[in-house]
Amino acid sequence: MQVPTVQVEGIRLSSLSLPSGAAPAYAGVTLTLRVGNPNPVPVRLANIAGTLVVDGQGVGDVNLPDVNLPAGGEARQSAELRLPVTLNTAATFLRVARGQEVSYRLDGAFTADLGVLGRPTFGPFTLSQGVWKQAAILPF
């Protein structure tokens, strides 16, 4: 049995809010993963869980339940994340919003559902990493 592969197919900052009254600042991020199954049998992942790290700082958690992988195939999973913007992460999210390049990685683990054989967890390890650059969503 080979370990499934995880790649970030897309990452996009869709919104960036300022704090307002009791509501904290947050970043809306869409994360799309391509999960591959190199095995000749279908595999069900009960969960993919991880932390999105941008420019060396953990910015939020990702949790994708019930990923069904066909034999020798792949599946796409998307998550709409609402990540808190803190004093430590505000500059990083602002760089992304301005269309500047930042590095990212997704650190985490996944749990396979092997039926009567149990639910082993693989990881933690770096699931995927790369460079995040998108068109600016802020004009300044």
Dist CA 75 CA 93 (whole Å)? 28
Between CA 35 and CA 67 the distance in angstroms is 8
Question: What pLDDT digit, counting tens, does each position of 91-116 carry?
Answer: 999 999 999 999 999 999 999 998 89
State which residues form the domain around 45.
5-118
In a domain, 101, yes or no: yes
pLDDT confidence of residue 135 = 95
User: Would 132 be classed as within a structural domain?
Assistant: no
| Residue 137 forms part of a structural domain | no
Spatial contact of 71 and 19, defined as CB atoms under 8 Å apart: no
Total domain count, the chain: 1
Position 20 in a domain: yes
Task: Examine the pLDDT at 139 and tell me if it is beyond 80.
Answer: no
CB atoms within 10 A of CB 61: 13
CA distance 121 to 35: 16
Region 80-97: mean pLDDT is 94
- Using a pLDDT cut of 90, give the percent of the chain over it: 88
Residue 127 resides in a domain:
no
pTM over 0.85: yes
| Rounded average pLDDT over 51-80 | 96
Given a cut of 90, is residue 19 above it in pLDDT?
no
Kindly report, residue by residue over 117-129, the tens digit of the pLDDT. Answer: 899 999 999 999 9
Look at the chain and count its residues.
Answer: 140
Q: pLDDT-based confidence at 45, cuts 50/70/90?
A: very high
Residue 135 lies in a domain: no
